[in-house]
Amino acid sequence: MSTTEIASNRSTLRRATAASTLGSAVEFYEFTIYGFLTVVFAPLLFPSDDPAASTLAALAVFGGGFLARPLGGIIFGAIGDRVGRRNVLMATIFLMGGASTAVGVLPTYSQIGLWAPVLLLLLRLLQGVSAGGEFTGAQTYIVEMAPAHRRGLYGSTPVFGAGLGYAAASLIVAALSASLDPEAMREWGWRLPFLLCLPLTIGCLFLRMRLEDSPEFAAIVAEANVTRTPVRDVLRHQWADVLRVVCMTMAVLGPSFLLKVYMGIHLVSVKGMTLAQVYTTLGIILLVTAALFPVMGHFSDRRGRRPIAIIGYSAYALLSVPLFLIVGASTSLWQIIPILVLFAIIEPFIAASVYTMMAEIFPGRVRYTGTSLGFNLGAIAAAGFGPYICGQLVASTGWAASPGIWGTSCALLGLIAVSLTAETSRTRLVR
């Protein structure tokens, strides 16, 4: 290979890495800002005499977005496996950005009545459809673009971007809460993070316009190996792999969303802490620990995906209940920070390995579809309705640590799934 070709390949890989990282950051910022602001806008769109009931209603709509993700995974995964990854990644980020921006201009219940929660649900479903193809599309694309011996490193960049998106959402909410009085935050301040989605989406679209499809997909086209029925093919021949991906996803997102979404709501509504306190702390923790994703991705290239994932899942299983026990017994945020940091460190151990493994499991002709189906089905239960389930557990049992049982249960599913999955770090991608 000539020096010019090597330089061209490196430039292409850099663009692909930047696009995958930024796209995932924008997606997860836009998708999770809803969860961070639930306690603020819930009474405006779901009026009730009981603030807890309003929050539960808003969390149910939060879960509705995840309910739509498998549909997006089926639609965009099938298109991506038939016509290529690049164009689908353009469409998913456009749809996500449009729906998220629209939430920022949504009228309240007092202005349009029942239409307010109905429109919110519709926009949340559109977010879910687009998100169903975005993250797994970026994951599929970058794993196919990466050198074989560095797939773990490059495969960690979408989830690294997701970590940045979570952190950005948290810090922006914290900054607004610290800058605005509660009345201004409730009246109009909560809209600003949603409106920020517009310039973020435009920037991401500009970057992705410069991408080209992966060599893996180009080879599949050249070999006339493109399937016309990717959903049917993957469910007929690789349903067990889809099920394993479902369990591995639940085991990542179930415990991690205890920290990223539910913990913020819990600290504000149960412990009486301010939004600025809680989300500044969570944002800084998530920002710092995001740097571990590429580190652990690189480590998984050297030591294998399975051992690292098993360590991480085991830690989640052991620490989910103690997380809430310590939080419940603490009287200040400073007492809580060490356990939050420890819990946040676990996700990079798992995600940097597992998300790359998910894409490596499936052959190229159904890789986008298979990864999307498994990931999004797992995301429904673990991340979509997980916060709602945790809220109901606390409401029905009166035990503040009961959400930890949910985290432990999800982690155990991941341990079983990884134990039944072959090591993928040293194998070639199958077309």
Q: Where are the domains of the chain?
A: 10-419
422: its two tokens: 């072959």
Interatomic CA distance for residues 71 and 91, integer angstroms: 15
Distance CA 94, CA 342 (A): 36
Mean pLDDT of 292-314: 94
CATH superfamily of 10-419: MFS general substrate transporter like domains (1.20.1250.20)
Question: What pLDDT is recorded for position 54?
Answer: 66
Q: How would residue 290 be classed by pLDDT, with cut points 50, 70 and 90? A: very high
User: What CA–CA distance (Å, rounded) separates 329 from 331?
Assistant: 7
- Per-residue pLDDT at 142 exceeds 90: yes
pLDDT of residue 396: 87
pLDDT for position 386: 78
Over residues 26-41, mean pLDDT: 78
- Comparing 313 with 179, the larger pLDDT belongs to 313
Burial of 416 (0-12, 13-18, 19+ CB in 10 A): middle
Could you tell me the pLDDT band of residue 231, with boundaries at 50, 70 and 90? Answer: very high
The pLDDT of residue 251: 95
225: part of which helix (H) or strand (E)? none
User: E strand or H helix at 381, and its extent?
Assistant: none
Alpha-carbon gap, residue 431 to 428, rounded angstroms: 9
pTM for the model: 0.86
Whole-number pLDDT of residue 51: 64
Buried b (16+ CB within 10 A) or exposed e, 217-240: beebeeeeebbeebbebbeeebee
CA-nearest of 293, 279, 219 to 20 is 293
Phi, psi of 213 (to 5 degrees): -70, 160
Report the pLDDT averaged over residues 67-91: 88
DSSP state of 365: G
3-state class of 81 per DSSP? helix
Q: What's 245-273 look like in SS3?
A: HHHHHHHHHHHHHHHHHHHHHHHHHCCCC
What percentage of residues in the chain have a pLDDT greater than 70? 94
